[in-house]
Each structure stands twice: as C-alpha cells, then as structure tokens.
Chains A and B, each alone.
Chain A
Amino acid sequence: MIGTALFFLFAGLAIACAISMVYHRNPLYSAISLVGVFIALSCLYVTLAAPFIAAVQILIYAGAIMVLVVFVIMLLNLEEDRPHSRLNYLYALGGGLGVLLLAQTFFIFYAVMRSPNQPADQTLSPGKTLSIGQAMYTEYLLPVEIVGVLLLMAVIGSVILARKLTAPQIELVVEKELEIRKEEDAKDGLGIAL
C-alpha cells in the first residue's frame, strides 16, 4: 500500500519534471527539471531496495554531471532558445516517434502484466554494496577495466578540446607544422615548396 503510493508519487514527479525539461526553452530551467527527475528516480531506486545505486545516482548525476551542465550554461550565459526554424517535417517525425514509443510502452506493460512469469523471492536483496563490489571485481572485472580506460580517454579528450589556443599559439602550431613538412620534404629530396 505505502509502496504503491510512493511509486505513484515519485513516478508522477519524474514524469512532470521530464515534461517540464522538454517544454522549457531556457536551458537552466531544463537543467533544474532534469535534476528533479534524477532525484525522483533516486527515490524510486531506494524503494526498489537498491540504496547503493540511489546514492551513486545522486552523487554522479545530480552532483557531478548536472553541476557541470549548469556551470557551462552559466559560463556561456546562454539565452533562451530561438523558435524553431528547422524543417517542419521534424515535428511530424518527433510526434510519430513519440506515438510509436508510447504504443510500444503500453504493449510492454500489457505483455508483462499478462505474462505468467513470477518474480523471484522478494526478500532477496541484490542491492547490497558487498555483492555489487564482489561481482564488479570478480565476474565483471574486464568491463570495469574498459570503463576505466574510457574515463581516462574522456579526461584526456576533454582537456584537449577545452584548452584555449590564443592567436600567437595557433600561429606557433602552424609554423611548427610547416617546418616539419619542410624537413620531411627535404629528407625525401623532393623539395616541393609549400
């Protein structure tokens, strides 16, 4: 009874915040709404007996990713979106996709409701931090390592992307490039001037 009430409360909150995110043209309002969705989902994870995932959800999504997004929005001082000027068929495409996905959702709901599969024992709690950690470092060690490499790549990539090249630096890079090419050409003995 209480579980159902909590589910509808947080589900309603999540859907309302999600709609508000798509509806608002101001990017900061969208970001705040998205934080609302994340917090509602985190509460749902607690009711699903997954406190570790709930805590990590708040820590990573609400506390790190969205803070970065808000920071970028404030840094760039973004104004409201201009009204849509793209081709109008995108509206039709978006609407069609939405209807299709909703239909699929309702079909899944209907199918799961009708399916004879019984859920496993409800007293099992797979959300224990210990069991997650054990699974992570024994059975799924390779994916964890790959994710680590991916994060390293992301760090290096974002540093390269976000560094600011001033005009003299850009000239320096171009000059160096030209010098290297000249040297290579001289080595090849072709001597083609650039």
Chain B
Amino acid sequence: MEPSLGSYLALSGILFTIGAVGVIYKRNAIGMFMCIELMLNAVNLTFVAFSRYYGDTTGQLFVFMVMSVAAAEAAVGLGIIIAFFRNSMSVDVDDASILKN
C-alpha cells in the first residue's frame, strides 16, 4: 500500500510552516536564507507528489526550475551576506539599519 497524496501534501504543509515561522524568528541572515530554502523544498515536494499521482512530467520540470532559481538565489544571497558582513562585521538583519533616520 502506498501513502496517499494527502499525506505528502500534509508533510509539505508542515515543512512549509516550520520554514515560514523560522524566517520570522531567525535574526541571522544566513538562518533566514536557509528557512527560505526549506520553504522552497516543501513546495518541491508537492510538485513531485502531484506529478506522481497524476502521471504528468510537468511537475518534475517545475521542480527543476525551482532548483535553478534556488541556486541563483544562493549565489546572489550569499554574495550580499558577505558584502554586508564586510561593512558591519555581523550578519544580523537588525544591524542592517544604516538607511534609518
């Protein structure tokens, strides 16, 4: 017996929730970045599950696109984090406030 589509969607929802809550709670830029990656992965899981249960390749193709975008995001995001660290010696998002006042 195979687990049903609903259980995969539930797992994906739980992972997405954890990621979303993490983005709000984390104050470390790298931590937030990782939580966003987790949310993207939760969405990927729904794509693959739907692709399996409707016998359609499109879902897996979209997973591929999401992964490419995540790779691009990682390159740029980590570049920004390093540049930010050079200026303020911290990766804390609360310290990114030089445009205030």
Are A and B direct contacts in the complex by CB distance below 8 Å?
yes
Query: A-side interface residues toward B, CB under 8 Å?
Result: 1, 3-4, 7-8, 11, 14-15, 18-19, 21-22, 27, 30-31, 34, 37-38, 41, 44-45, 48-50, 52-53, 56-57, 60-61, 64-65, 68-69, 72-73, 75-76, 78, 81-82, 84-86, 90-91, 93-95, 97-98, 101-102, 104-106, 108-109, 112-113, 119-122, 124, 126-127, 131-132, 135-136, 140, 143-144, 147, 150-151, 153-155, 157-159, 161-162, 164
Give complex CA distance A77, B72 in Å.
24
Give complex CA distance A187, B82 in Å.
40
Residue of B nearest to A148 (CB): B68
- Contact among B18, B25, B57, B86 for A164, CB-based, below 8 A: B86
Give complex CA distance A144, B11 in Å.
29
Q: Which residues of A contact B85 (CB under 8 A)?
A: 76
Q: Which residues of A contact B78 (CB under 8 A)?
A: 68-69, 72, 158
Q: Which residues of A contact B49 (CB under 8 A)?
A: 48
Q: Which residues of B contact A15 (CB under 8 A)?
A: 11, 14-15, 18
When A and B form their complex, which 5 residue pairs have the shortest distance between CB atoms, in order from nearest? Answer: A105-B13, A161-B79, A154-B72, A124-B55, A94-B24
19 contacts between A and B (CB under 8 A): A3-B1, A11-B7, A11-B11, A22-B18, A22-B26, A48-B48, A50-B51, A65-B37, A69-B74, A81-B28, A81-B92, A82-B92, A101-B17, A105-B10, A108-B9, A108-B13, A109-B7, A136-B61, A136-B64
With A3-B3, A157-B76 known as contacts, the answer to whether A97 contacts B20 (CB < 8 A) is yes
Asked whether A126 lies within 8 Å of B52 as measured between CB atoms, the reply is yes
- Contact among B1, B9, B65, B79 for A147, CB-based, below 8 A: B65
Q: Which residues of B contact A53 (CB under 8 A)?
A: 44, 48, 60, 63-64
With A3-B1, A18-B19, A109-B6 known as contacts, the answer to whether A69 contacts B79 (CB < 8 A) is no
With A22-B18, A56-B67, A105-B14 known as contacts, the answer to whether A34 contacts B53 (CB < 8 A) is no
Query: B-side interface residues toward A, CB under 8 Å?
Result: 1-11, 13-22, 24-28, 30-31, 33-35, 37-38, 41, 44-45, 48-49, 51-61, 63-65, 67-76, 78-83, 85-86, 91-92, 94
- Contact among B7, B20, B41, B72 for A41, CB-based, below 8 A: B41
Residues of B contacting A: mostly: helix
Determine how close the nearest CB of chain B comes to the CB of A112; give it in whole angstroms. Answer: 4
Asked whether B41 lies within 8 Å of A119 as measured between CB atoms, the reply is no
Determine how close the nearest CB of chain B comes to the CB of A172; give it in whole angstroms. Answer: 18
Q: Which residues of A contact B48 (CB under 8 A)?
A: 44-45, 48, 50, 53
Asked whether B67 lies within 8 Å of A21 as measured between CB atoms, the reply is no
Give complex CA distance A130, B13 in Å.
30
Residue of B nearest to A155 (CB): B75
